């Protein structure tokens, strides 16, 4: 088993770190406070190949693997967790189109997505289904031989009205998961509208809203994969999404530890620096250990996707559950170490806690991760 990154992966990681420190970190606080969606910075990330990371180079993708992507999102999220998480979602859509789309729609969409001329959103969640994603109600019925007519709504869509194209999971068949398909719907389509911009605890550098479809006519050519492939495609996409969101948690926790190390080496109490107290040293040791364990799980999960491991879904669920829980705790401990200062917006801790909290909910709640893991364990015990 190899624990050392290759020279190429180290170079990719350093590139993402430099971009994060130069372009994201200095602006993260302002984006959060003013709820600014930094599209221009995202386009600059695209110039470095970070908008279509694991997409074929034929149409402008970068052609990297999932481990490289995890390293990129880890470093980007040191600068801004919220912006990095949105970029992960955009990459998921690009991957879906590249891996299951026809050459016609790959040629149409991927060059624009890889440059972020077009920003994309992933639309699965509905207000009435939540974790039971297969129970979605949005429908797409054929109209002649040219179009689908889409009706319904999606909730909590990152990108909301700011995005240009939406990968929408909708029901083209029966009420089972096999009746779900994926359609690409462009902004400006007649009947497409948006709810109010949601006011959120965190993730404020990306706009979130509901999306409504009222007799939206979508070309049949905008089907990704075959009819009935949508749910399987969504679940495969979520494997990678879970790894990426876990990597974003790692980046945030990494910054929290760095902040705690700086603070405890400068702050004195009772005539001693904070890092001279054993209780502080133990806290730092536990934080660093838990961060390292999270990294190992996330890297293994990313590699399981790259290697097409039959247990990849379970590995991704484990990594997502562990890393998002653990890294949130690391940020909370770092805030505690800062005392009252950690509660102020002058320091990044309160923002990190707000941004990382949602990672335990999205891409499948951590309760759902436990279901996935336990079902796999039970199945293996019966085989």
> What residues are annotated to the active site?
363
Q: Is 3 exposed, middle or buried (0-12, 13-18, 19+ CB in 10 A)?
A: exposed
Rounded CA separation 370/378 (Å): 12
3-class SS of residue 107: helix
Tokens standing for 50? 């970070």
Rounded CA separation 170/164 (Å): 18
Tokens standing for 237? 């996409």
Q: Count Cβ atoms below 10 Å from residue 245 Cβ, excluding itself.
A: 30
Tokens standing for 269? 């109490």
Residues with Cβ within 8 Å of 7's Cβ and at least 6 positions away in sequence, in order, are: none
Q: Count Cβ atoms below 10 Å from residue 232 Cβ, excluding itself.
A: 15
Asked if 359 and 324 count as a contact pair (C-beta separation under 8 A), the reply is yes
In 3D space, the residue among 100, 55, 373 whose CA is nearest the CA of residue 230 turns out to be 100
């Amino acid at each position: 088993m190899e624990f050392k990154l290759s020279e190429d992966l180290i170079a990719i990681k350093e590139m993402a770190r430099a971009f994060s420190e130069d372009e994201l970190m200095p602006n993260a606080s302002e984006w959060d406070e003013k709820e600014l969606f930094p599209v221009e910075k995202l386009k600059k990330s695209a110039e470095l190949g970070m908008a279509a990371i694991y997409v074929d180079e034929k149409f402008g993708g970068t052609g990297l693997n999932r481990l490289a992507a995890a390293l990129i999102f880890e470093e980007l999220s040191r600068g801004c967790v919220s912006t990095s998480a949105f970029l992960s979602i955009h990459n998921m859509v690009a991957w879906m189109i590249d891996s299951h789309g026809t050459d016609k729609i790959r040629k149409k969409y991927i060059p624009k997505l890889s440059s972020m001329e077009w920003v994309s959103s992933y639309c699965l969640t509905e207000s009435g289904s939540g974790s039971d994603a297969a129970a979605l109600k949005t429908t797409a019925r054929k109209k002649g031989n040219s179009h689908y007519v889409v009706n319904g709504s999606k909730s909590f869509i990152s990108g909301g009205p700011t995005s240009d194209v939406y990968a929408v999971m909708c029901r083209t068949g029966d009420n089972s998961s096999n009746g779900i398909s994926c359609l690409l719907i462009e902004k400006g389509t007649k009947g497409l509208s948006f709810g109010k911009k949601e006011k959120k605890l965190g993730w404020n550098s990306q706009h979130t809203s509901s999306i409504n479809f009222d007799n939206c006519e979508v070309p049949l050519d905008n089907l990704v994969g075959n009819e009935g492939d949508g749910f399987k495609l969504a679940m495969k996409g979520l494997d990678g999404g879970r790894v990426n969101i876990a990597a974003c948690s790692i980046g945030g926790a990494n910054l929290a530890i760095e902040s705690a190390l700086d603070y405890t080496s400068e702050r004195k109490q009772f005539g001693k620096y904070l890092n001279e107290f054993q209780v502080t040293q133990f806290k730092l040791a536990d934080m660093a250990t838990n961060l390292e364990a999270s990294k190992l799980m996330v890297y293994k999960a990313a590699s399981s996707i790259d290697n097409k491991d039959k247990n990849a879904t379970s590995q991704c669920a484990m990594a997502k559950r562990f890393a998002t829980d653990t890294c949130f705790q690391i940020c909370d401990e770092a805030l505690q170490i800062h005392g009252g200062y950690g509660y102020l917006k002058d320091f990044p801790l309160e923002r990190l806690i707000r941004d990382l909290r949602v990672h335990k909910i999205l891409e499948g709640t951590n309760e759902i991760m436990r279901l996935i893991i336990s079902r796999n364990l039970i199945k293996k015990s019966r085989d």
